[in-house]
């Protein structure tokens, strides 16, 4: 695929203290067979040497790399949004600093979207670093090619690891789909919003490898950061469930509402089991802000 004067895609990499993995992530992106991209890395006030690494990387002189150094930590969600706001190319993807990609990831997903205007996102099969599976349902890459209503319901009932969030998107669609209010499972809501505009594809090859770490391994920490107040901390999916009322195709799906009633209770039990750790975390946050 030939490089054009104006890049086709912006790759946005948010990072905070990612020194252990970021070099492998970036090198795998720079090795893509499609070089027609701008890679914007937004360092969220790292303290582990990530900032210094990026400064050295800039000196290598690759014109595709742009580094943004946040003066203070924005929080993870706002760092993701900052990258999306910088995108002015037809296509966009987020890239986690602890993941890596096979060389044809960008090319194959981008080519599909260029050839299929009724699709708004494309992701390959994904392998998780600690599992010997690339199951489409579990990893959240299942293709969604039906009607708008059926696609949204199918996705909402089984988002899995929601790896489709890290696929390639049409920039105007993902920007319109973004939600201004921060809450737990906001990425699910964003993906549901994109399905109002078109379908999601899955490339039938493992071209992306996801880390088993990150927020999902200590979910309650992210929940405490995003969900303010005792009620929303106890019921972390409540605000997401309320948001679903904004998505008209879901209004009359009893299956969806029954599912989320059960899911809210499940997460309530999870938060209860971790109540001591949550209480200690909230106390530390309170002291830090006082």
Query: Among 271, 268, 265, 237, which residue's Cα sits nearest to residue 159?
Result: 237
Local structure of 209: helix, strand or coil:
strand
User: pLDDT tens digits for 240-257?
Assistant: 999 999 999 998 999 999
**C-alpha distances in angstroms, 245 versus 171, 210, 223, 237, 285?**
25, 31, 21, 13, 32
Whether this prediction's pTM lies above 0.85 is answered by yes
Superfamily of domain 1-100: Spore Coat Polysaccharide Biosynthesis Protein SpsA; Chain A (3.90.550.10)
User: pLDDT tens digits for 17-37?
Assistant: 999 999 999 999 999 999 999
Query: Among 102, 115, 59, which residue's Cα sits nearest to residue 206?
Result: 102
Residue 198 pLDDT > 50, yes or no?
yes
The radius of gyration computed from the CA coordinates of the chain, to the nearest angstrom, equals 19
Interatomic CA distance for residues 269 and 161, integer angstroms: 20
CA dihedral 84, 28, 26, 171 (to 10 degrees): -10
- What is the reported pLDDT for 96? 94
Going from N- to C-terminal start, the domains of the chain cover 1-100, 215-289
27 phi/psi in degrees, rounded to 5:
-60, -35
Residue 3: DSSP 8-state = P
User: pLDDT tens digits for 179-191?
Assistant: 988 888 899 999 9
Task: Report percent pLDDT > 70 for the chain.
Answer: 88
């Amino acid at each position: 695929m030939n490089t054009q004067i104006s890049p086709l895609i912006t790759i946005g990499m948010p990072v905070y203290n990612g020194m252990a993995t970021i070099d492998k992530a970036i090198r795998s992106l720079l090795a893509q067979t499609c070089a027609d991209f701008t890679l914007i890395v937004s360092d969220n006030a790292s303290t582990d040497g990530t900032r210094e690494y990026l400064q050295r990387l800039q000196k290598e002189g690759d014109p595709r790399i742009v580094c943004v150094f946040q003066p203070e930590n924005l929080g993870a969600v706002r760092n993701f949004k900052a990258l999306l706001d910088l995108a002015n190319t037809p296509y966009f993807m987020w890239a986690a600093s602890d993941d890596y990609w096979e060389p044809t990831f960008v090319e194959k997903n981008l080519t599909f979207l260029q050839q299929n205007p009724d699709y708004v996102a494309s992701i390959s099969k994904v392998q998780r670093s600690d599992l010997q599976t690339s199951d489409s349902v579990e990893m959240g890459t299942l293709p969604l090619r039906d009607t708008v209503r059926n696609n949204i319901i199918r996705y909402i009932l089984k988002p899995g690891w929601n790896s489709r969030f890290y696929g390639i998107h049409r920039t105007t669609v993902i920007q319109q789909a973004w939600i201004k209010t921060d809450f737990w499972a906001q990425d699910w809501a964003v993906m549901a919003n994109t399905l109002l505009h078109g379908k999601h594809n899955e490339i039938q090859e493992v071209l992306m490898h996801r880390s088993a770490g990150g927020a999902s391994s200590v979910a309650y920490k992210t929940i405490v950061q995003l969900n303010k107040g005792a009620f929303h901390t106890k019921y972390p999916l409540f605000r997401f469930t309320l948001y679903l009322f904004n998505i008209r195709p879901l209004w009359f799906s009893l299956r969806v509402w029954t599912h989320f009633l059960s899911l809210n209770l499940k997460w309530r039990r999870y938060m209860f089991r971790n109540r001591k750790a949550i209480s200690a975390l909230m106390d530390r946050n309170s002291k830090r802000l006082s």
